[in-house]
Amino acid sequence: MLNAKIVLFQRTKELNAKITEFLNNISEAAIIFHQAIMNYMQAGDNDDFEAKLNNVSALEARNDQLRRTIETKLYEHTLIPESRADVLELMEGLDKIVNMFEARLYQFSIEKIDINENLKTLYEELSESSVNAVEALVRSTRAFFVNISQVNDHIHKVMFFEKQGDMIGTKLKRQIFDNPDIELSRKIQMRMLCDDIDSIANQAEDVADQLSIYTIKRYL
Amino acid sequence: MNLVFLFYLSSGLFLGWASGANYMGNVFGTAVGTKMLSFTAAAIICSIFITLGAVYGGAGPASTIASLGSINTMAGAFVAVLAAAFAIFMITKTGLPVSSTQAIVGGIIGWNLFVGLPIDTYALFKILGAWIASPLLSAIFAMILMSVVKLFLHRFPLPLLYQDLYVRIALILTGAFGAYSLGANNIGNIVGVFTNVVPFNDIKIFGIISLSSTQQLFLLGGIAISIGVFTYSKKIINTIGRDIMELSPTAAWVVVMSHSLVMFLFASENLHNFLVKYGLPTIPLVPISSSEAVIGAVVGIALLQKGRGLKINSLGKVAIGWITCPFFAAIFSFIAMFFMQNLFGQPVH
């Protein structure tokens, strides 16, 4: 019986460590993503930018692996049976965010988008608000696993940064299309990039909405 | 002599097997239903602790059953128990939890009516009173425990995975305690009527463990229950674990704990003696229905949530099972006594 209990504790500890690593990787990917955007705005697609893209790719690959391991362990050992489906959905939603970070950086790397000097600050601000939304989401998720009473302390910040991102995005798109010197094809390309960066905050908001429901369910 | 006794005892073993399904459902139904424990792990723990409880703690409640109707022939005991087993077997087939206590009391009353002996009304009322008190007590325990657990988790929230782990360990420990108490409380139902006619001698195993004749009888009963646990309990687990109300793992633990406490209160000779020693009001050592205790606890939790999620239809079916079981057992016992005496020429009194 004692041996079984030690195994149970060990298993829980390992799984907890994997979830923590998964969340740390999202947070790290968010920081690197923002640094890469700043770097691109200042110096374009250079080696430093590509190195950051590779870092985010590596984190994305590692998180895919972690997500699969966590999902398998949860089912294999029938852990948290009542919250299992919710946790799996949460992990999938969070994992998608890292995929989006990677996809956006590839977009810069492949398309070599030429951005007007006067628009660069707005792109940086947009990236910052998306990253802030993701950071707040990671903190809410940590609270969900560790101290559920604190989830709502962070979740409202996700909504705040998402809204801020929408406002910056609208402003940016207006400036793009109000400028007669930019040809239409570049306007559309920059608008798409703006929407794509903003969609990271939207995804964070969607996951936060799910998290709110899971939190209420756990309180019942 | 022993072979004849073993033949008659076979009805007790049949009753043990049929009851085993119910016992497993009652002790671990909520834990298995909420997927917190696997069926196999629950069945192993349940079997071991029910048998231990039967052998080492079964004397008190069994004496109450013996006093209800002193069946003094093996044929009479055989028929009374067979009637109870048959009633349980039939009702368990429908997936409803049923009480071996109610069934055996029905079987003994059938014997009393057949032989024309007066029923010990004091013992009968003691048992009936406990049947009413036990689900109420269990519901009250469940409401108190659930409120305390909720308050605790609000004040001191545990990490999700560790909460899961602690609830799992608590379910195992409490389930083991519940199974022990249940074995102690209910073994009297299974083979209690044979205690007056048991022909075994006291034995010593490996020179360390000594077993009286009654304990050997209870051990056989415990083994029969264990076989029932493994082979016949899955339907009941679904009824207890899911059909009456969807429970959270924490609520599942509260149900198991409330059930275990109630079974313990009505089975523990030590507690009884302790209360007597200090002149406190005692709790009668009476075999109670473990199904009633479990359902009482589930209803207690539902009441705390203002009845939300309680499936009244399933509950109604369970209540019908409780009422029909003793009647069915008494009628079957009465008819079978007639055949045993007049067709097979065996004295039942």
Interval B50-69: pLDDT, tens:
999 999 887 766 666 666 65
Mean pLDDT on B170-197: 86
Identify the pLDDT of residue B21. 82
What b-and-e string marks burial along B87-109, b requiring 16 or more CB atoms within 10 Å of the CB?
A: bbbbbbeebbbbbbbbbbbbbbb
**Tokens standing for residue A48:** 């430093």
Comparison of pLDDT for B303 and A2, the residue scoring more: B303
In whole angstroms, what is the distance from residue A106 CA to residue A89 CA? 26
Mean pLDDT value across chain A: 93
In whole angstroms, what is the distance from residue B202 CA to residue B210 CA? 7
The CATH number of whichever domain residue A206 belongs to comes to 1.20.58.220
Res. A100 pLDDT band, cuts 50 70 90 = very high
Identify the pLDDT of residue B70. 67
Name the interface residues of A facing B (CB cutoff 8 Å): 1, 5, 8-9, 12, 15-16, 19, 78-83, 87, 144-149, 218, 220
Q: Choose the mutation target among A10, A79, A88 for the interface with B, i.e. most B CBs under 10 Å.
A: A79
Identify the pLDDT of residue A37. 96
Identify the pLDDT of residue A200. 97
Q: Do B165 and A16 touch (CB under 8 A)?
A: no
Identify the pLDDT of residue A220. 63
Give me the percent of chain B exceeding a pLDDT of 90: 26
Q: Do B159 and A9 touch (CB under 8 A)?
A: no
Mean pLDDT on B33-38: 86
* Per-residue pLDDT tens over the stretch B59-113: 766 666 666 656 778 888 888 889 998 888 888 788 777 788 888 889 989 988 9
Mean pLDDT on A104-129: 94
Contacts of B161 in chain A (CB under 8 A): 12, 15-16, 19, 79-80, 145
Out of A99-113, A148-162, A204-218, B201-215, pick the least confident: B201-215
Helix axes B2-33, B74-93, angle to 10 degrees: 30
Identify the pLDDT of residue B65. 66
- Closest-CA distance of chain B to residue A200, Å: 27
Contacts of A147 in chain B (CB under 8 A): 157, 159
Angle at B349 between CA B267 and CA B336, to 5 degrees: 85
Q: Give yes or no for B154 touching A (CB within 8 A).
A: yes
Res. B201 pLDDT band, cuts 50 70 90 = confident
Res. B269 pLDDT band, cuts 50 70 90 = confident
**Tokens standing for residue A154:** 């962070």
Identify the pLDDT of residue A129. 97
Q: Choose the mutation target among A6, A12, A142 for the interface with B, i.e. most B CBs under 10 Å.
A: A12
- Closest-CA distance of chain A to residue B282, Å: 35
Q: Do B157 and A80 touch (CB under 8 A)?
A: no
Question: In this model, does residue B227 exceed pLDDT 90?
Answer: yes
* Per-residue pLDDT tens over the stretch B123-175: 888 888 888 899 999 999 999 999 999 899 888 888 999 999 999 999 999 99
Domains: count for chain A: 1
Res. B43 pLDDT band, cuts 50 70 90 = very high
Q: Do A8 and B157 touch (CB under 8 A)?
A: no
Identify the pLDDT of residue B332. 92
Its domain, for residue A68, covers: 2-219
Q: Give yes or no for B161 touching A (CB within 8 A).
A: yes
- Listed in sequence order, the residues at least 6 apart from B125 whose beta carbon sits closer than 8 Å to its beta carbon are none
Residue B55 CA, distance from chain mean position:
15
Question: In this model, does residue B262 exceed pLDDT 60?
Answer: yes
